[in-house]
Amino acid sequence: MATGLGWQGSPAAMASPSSPSGSGESALLHLIAGLEEVMAGEIAIAGQVVNHLEPRERGCAMVFHGHALIHTWRWGKTSAMR
């Protein structure tokens, strides 16, 4: 479980989590993107809590290299996001 994480940057900033393998980088990106449900706490983007927003409504973008973050999902779940 991650607690007290924060990052601030310009509206056009790019960022990538970096830590030892298995530390939760992919899980963090899933939560920010809205691909997984936040069980406790809040995720805010530009000062707005986005826990209740669909991925397309969050005002941010993610790049998934080689489908690295969605390879374990069924086709139906990933195609429903489009």
**What confidence score (pLDDT) does residue 81 get?**
54
Q: pLDDT tens digit string along 24-53?
A: 888 888 888 898 899 988 988 888 999 999
Please give the residue that has the higher pLDDT: either 76 or 51.
Answer: 51
Provide the 3-class DSSP secondary structure of residue 44. Answer: strand
Give the pLDDT of residue 2.
Answer: 65
Domain-wise residue ranges, the chain: 30-80
Rounded-to-integer distance, Cα 78 and Cα 70, Å: 7
CA nearest to 25, candidates 69, 62, 59, 57: 69
The whole-number pLDDT of residue 64 equals 63
